[in-house]
Amino acid sequence: MLRQGLENTVSNTWTKPLTQVRSVPDRAEVVIIGGGIVGVSTAWFLAKQGVDVVLCEKGHIAGEQSGRNWGWVRVQGRDAREIPMMLESLRIWESLGQEIGEDVGFTRGGCFFAANSSKELAAFEPWVKTAQDYGIDTRVIDGVQLRQYVKGVTPNWAGAMVTASDGRAEPHKAAAAIARAAQRSGAKVLGGCAVRGIETSAGSVSAVITEHGVIQCSTVLCAAGAWTSMFCRSLGIDVPQLRVRGTVARTAPAEEILSGNLFDHRLGIRRREDGGYTVAHGSVLEHPITPASFRYFRKFLPALKQEFKLVRLDLGRDFLDEWRTPVTWPLDAPSPFEATRVLNPKPTASVLKGIRKNLDQMFPTLANTPIVESWAGMIESSPDVVPMIDHIEALQGFHIATGFSGHGFGIGPGAGKAIAGMLTGNDSGIDIAAFRLSRFFDGSPIRPQVSI
Ligand SMILES: Cc1cc2nc3c(=O)[nH]c(=O)nc-3n(C[C@H](O)[C@H](O)[C@H](O)COP(=O)(O)OP(=O)(O)OC[C@H]3O[C@@H](n4cnc5c(N)ncnc54)[C@H](O)[C@@H]3O)c2cc1C
């Protein structure tokens, strides 16, 4: 039962009425497709450098993944390729609220990965060594020490891997605040403005076709989240990407049992700025089977093997919806992006039940705390669970930034800085070579190092 008046703090991000622009600028230096944390952060960094940038979002800013995630801002446990970008991101988060003059809910409350056995605890050691190489404060603590940070718990944990400098932020605030900061710096942020396609001239981008008109430009960034693969396919560019659905819930404010984020195979839980908790199941990933599942089966096989115990396959409407969607469409008529302004999957009832049960069992102090809101988000993943940030050689001026795979919120601001560097040619200080798209096509082994 939801408590009156509290039910839409988060979901208001995508359920509020859509404000649509009526026209678009004739031209821009850079057009960004997608108003998630990656798109808005890039727009902000570009605008601060004086670049004339237009961002087009088909629905609401942060209406999809960036407004629906758990809000964990962590370096802990990441694939080593992401660490430099993530460390830069943490630096940006630290002063972000102050720099843009808006609250984004960031605080460093620490990140805990709990271990149920000494074997699980020992498995953290390689990452702790990696952390030491980067000067990160990650360490392993025992069960007694863990109880000093996490109060009133029933699991008899063997211990945890912890990074005290990791943090959390509020997804329903952050991306929209960054978008407003980008606007104040001169970016044009257009909500309710789907990009239908690209116009080319002699193999290069010459314009972006939106539902509200044409924007002449020679540089485009496709940061379209779960839609990137489909958008790129319409241009003849292959971007391997699949989706998994994540169900999330939020409790009413309650006693502080931890100040950061904790993961256990039963539950992912983080303290919220409003005094409640964002909670999700620790070991359920629901993959809606679609034609893309078959198209990319081989590339995703290593990830599937790794996540075998967590993945639940689901054959339903999504298959038919994708099957009915054409590979290309006319650019002078409503496109699939206008047909689905906001990708808004339903939370899965059985998963919500599991969340409630695990929360009550693990944290008896919260057993009477009501769940006041629930939602779901469609996470998009790359085959090795690391983003693809690249220019596309076959279409000069076209770039992608996608595949952030369940951990793109925390790294978003750092990614924005790096991507702005890629687009302008200015050195951002962040190496993006490891994120090249061609790693999935040139015979490089596809080896996911971390979980989605
Ligand atoms: C349930 C869940 C939990 C997660 N937990 C965490 C976490 O705790 N920490 C973390 O770091 N990450 C987490 N993530 C992952 C994180 O949310 C994503 O990696 C990140 O938000 C991706 O940002 P993005 O900007 O690439 O994509 P999105 O936020 O999906 O934004 C893409 C935008 O592009 C728009 N778009 C698409 N096509 C078009 C078009 N043709 N024209 C115009 N606009 C278009 C879409 O409408 C969308 O708004 C989680 C994700 C989910 C769903």
Cα-based distances in Å from 76 to 68, 140, 163, 445: 21, 12, 6, 24
Test site for ligand 1: of 10, 66, 342, most ligand atoms within 8 A of the Cβ: 66
Kindly give the distance from the C-alpha atom of residue 174 to the centroid of ligand 1, in angstroms, as a whole number. Answer: 12
Cα separation, 136 vs 82, whole angstroms = 13
Cα separation, 37 vs 45, whole angstroms = 12
Kindly give the distance from the C-alpha atom of residue 10 to the centroid of ligand 1, in angstroms, as a whole number. Answer: 15
Q: Pick the atom of ligand 1 nearest to 231's CA.
A: 41
Kindly give the distance from the C-alpha atom of residue 450 to the centroid of ligand 1, in angstroms, as a whole number. Answer: 19
Cα-based distances in Å from 384 to 275, 290, 303, 404: 35, 19, 7, 10
Q: Is 369 helix (H, G, I), strand (E, B) or coil?
A: coil
* Contact criterion met (CB below 8 Å) for 134 and 87: yes
* Contact criterion met (CB below 8 Å) for 364 and 152: yes
Q: Whose CA is nearest to atom 45 of ligand 1?
A: 34
Cβ neighbours of residue 201 closer than 8 Å, sequence gap 6 or more: none
Helices 408-424 and 83-100, axial angle in degrees (round to 10)? 90
Query: What pLDDT digit, counting tens, does each position of 26-65 carry?
Result: 999 999 999 999 999 999 999 999 999 999 999 999 999 9
Residues with CB under 6 A from ligand 1: 33-39, 56-59, 63-66, 68-72, 194-195, 223-227, 231, 246, 248, 337, 377, 379, 402, 404, 406-410
* Contact criterion met (CB below 8 Å) for 198 and 208: yes
Distance between start and end Cα atoms, the chain? 30
Q: Pick the atom of ligand 1 nearest to 34's CA.
A: 34
* Contact criterion met (CB below 8 Å) for 160 and 112: yes
| Complete DSSP assignment for 236-248 | T-----EEEEEEE
Note the helical H segments in 33-170. 37-48, 65-68, 83-100, 118-122, 125-133, 143-149
Test site for ligand 1: of 409, 419, 435, 452, most ligand atoms within 8 A of the Cβ: 409
Q: Pick the atom of ligand 1 nearest to 60's CA.
A: 49
What pLDDT was estimated at residue 142? 97
Q: Which residues pair with 198 in a beta bridge?
A: 208
Q: Is 274 helix (H, G, I), strand (E, B) or coil?
A: coil
pLDDT tens, per residue, the chain with 452 residues = 444 446 789 999 999 999 888 899 999 999 999 999 999 999 999 999 999 999 999 999 999 999 999 999 999 999 999 999 999 999 999 999 999 999 999 999 999 999 999 999 999 999 999 999 999 999 999 999 999 999 999 999 999 999 999 999 999 999 999 999 999 999 999 999 999 999 999 999 999 999 999 999 999 999 999 999 999 999 999 999 999 999 999 999 999 999 999 999 999 999 999 999 999 999 898 999 999 999 999 999 999 998 888 889 999 999 999 999 999 999 999 999 999 999 999 999 999 999 999 999 999 999 999 999 999 999 999 999 999 999 999 999 999 999 999 999 999 999 999 999 999 999 999 999 999 999 999 999 999 998 88
* Contact criterion met (CB below 8 Å) for 427 and 421: yes
What pLDDT was estimated at residue 6? 62
Q: Which domains does the chain have, with CATH numbers?
A: 19-110+165-440 (3.50.50.60), 111-148+157-163 (no CATH)
324-335 burial, b for 16+ CB within 10 Å, e for fewer?
A: ebeeebebeeeb
Kindly give the distance from the C-alpha atom of residue 43 to the centroid of ligand 1, in angstroms, as a whole number. Answer: 15
Phi-psi region of 39 (alpha: psi -120 to 50; beta: other; left: phi over 0): alpha
